[in-house]
Amino acid sequence: MIVTTSEGLWHTLQDGNPWWPSYQPRRTDVLSWRHAAAILLREVDPEPIFAALPDLFDAIYDQTADAVCERLSGTENRLTWAIWFDVWLEHFDSWNDPIRQLLEQHCIGHDAKHLAEMLTRLDGASFCDFVLDAYDQDVINRAALQTALDEEPLPILKLSGTGWPFERLAYGFYQRFCTELDQEPEAAPQAMSELDFNRAGHPNVYRGIWNPARMK
């Protein structure tokens, strides 16, 4: 079936789509898996998902803080950004991390169900960044329209570097915990991590399973 519109299919799928990815030169791909995800989610209302994020990330923050304290207990090491981010990442290693669980509950439509079926194969940090990008754009748009938020927004810091929303949120919580420790946080590095958020997942999701001997 061929759909013909005055502006073309691309604009039809983009206009009014709350999941459409933002574009940052030198950071994001001009055409990527994020556009495909946004198209599949175009009929999913983001509001209940966005509303749940502050409490969800507060819980992740508490768990990260506890794990960091346990890791540094009995040592004289200071809390560094690298240590915090390493522990933060552990929450998104599982195939059913909190963000994917949250979004899957709202994937009811036909296209959204297609995305839900892929969630376990996506990289947790990258997909979380996709959701946070949409959330951040919503916060920016509300501020421009002077529309009040129901609660304090997530601390996705606006940094001078090229950090992704996932990294900037983790750094915002890192700063918060440093304040609790009465410690000066490290300055945010220009390259905040080595993660490639332009990838939806590992090129071989079955890595470690394939055995050439089985092919004989």
Task: Average the pLDDT over 162-186 and give the result.
Answer: 94
What value does the mean pLDDT take over residues 67-80?
A: 90
- For the chain, the domains span 27-203
Q: Residue 205's pLDDT is what?
A: 44
Whether pLDDT at 134 is above 90: yes
Confidence of residue 95 (pLDDT cuts 50, 70, 90): confident
Count of beta carbons in the 10 Å neighbourhood of residue 19: 21
Mean pLDDT along residues 56-61: 97
Q: Using one digit for the tens of pLDDT, what is the confidence trace for 189-209?
A: 888 999 999 999 765 444 443
Question: What per-residue confidence (pLDDT) applies to 27?
Answer: 81
pLDDT for res 128: 97
Tell me the DSSP string of 111-122: HHHHHHHHGGGS
